Each structure stands twice: as C-alpha cells, then as structure tokens.
Amino acid sequence: MKQVETERVMISLKRILPAMAVVLVILAAGARAQMSLGDLVAEGGYHWIMGRWVATTDEGDKMLLEYKWELNKYLLTVHLKWAESEYRGMIFYDAPKDQVIQVGVDAQGGNGKGLWEPMGDKALLKYEHTGANWETNRMALAHSRVDADTMKIEVHELYSSGEVADTPSGALEFKRVKEKRAKEAKSKA
C-alpha cells in the first residue's frame, strides 16, 4: 500500500516539477526585465541631471546639490546643503503605480514626498514638505538643462489640485562641479 502511494507521489512530482521549473524561469525573467529608474531617466533624456551642482542664492549663500546613483540605478539619492540647512532624499520607480517617487528628510526634522514627471523638456518634481513646525508647503521644481555644465531650477506654486502655476515664483541657476572643485564646494557649504 505504501509503495503504491509512493509511486503516485513520484508520478505527480514528475509532472509538477517541470511545470514549476517553467514558472520559476518566467518569474525570474520578469524580475530581471523590470524597468529601473536608470532606464526611465535615460529614456527621458534626463541623464544630464546626475552629478554635483553648486549655486549662489540672492543672499550670497552657496547651495550644493548632488544627484547620485545607488543600487544598480534603481535608486537615486539627493543631497542638498546650504547655509545651515541640509536635506537628503531618495528617488525610486514604483513600477506597479508607474510613478517616480521622492521622499526625504531635512536637518530640522521636516520631511516630504513628491512625484517626478516630464514637463516638456524639463524634469518636474511636485513636492509637498511638512516642516518641523507642522506647516505644509507645496511646490513644483522644474529642472532644465541650459548647457552641459548649467542647470536651471524654477520654483512654481503647486495648487492642492495638483496643477502647477504657469509662471515660476523664482529660479536658481546651478553650475556643474568638477570632481576637483567638488570637495572645495562641499567644505564651503
């Protein structure tokens, strides 16, 4: 009786195992084929944003901004430092929602979240930030390439409906930091 039962189990396993192997191969291929944030950035032509950038505010403060790839281009980290403030964020692609998401924290205890999307030839971040004082601000930051070593970021009002104001309320021009100057700019910021 045990032998008959064992034979049935073996026959069943012989039929199931090849099917399971096929399923595993398909799942593994699907996982490898998932589009990375790096793929999306390259596809959109926004690869120029990568690197270290420096700007000077109207008040004369230096701002250092860095976009850096992590985790095989599935994660983009953001580091912004100016005067006596600092912000760190992460940007990633949420494939099931088909959204590029940014989350971050600042040195005063504030935090925020946002969505990246194309806006013509600009990379637009719709961002909501809640400061340490619990006050929430919404803004849209339009990143555009001026030339190989210059990036412009325009600040637009972001309405609660998600719409972006047509006219920017301000703008800042960033210059690419060459590797040699990167350490100097970091120590000044």
List pLDDT tens digits, range 45-59.
999 999 999 999 988
| pLDDT value of position 23 | 44
Domain 39-188 in CATH 2.40.50.180: no
pLDDT in tens, 163-189: 999 999 999 999 999 876 555 656 665
Mean pLDDT score, 22-31: 43
CA 188 to chain centre: 26
Residues 6+ apart with CB under 8 A from 152: 143, 144, 146, 171, 172, 173, 174
pLDDT in tens, 90-109: 999 999 999 999 999 999 99
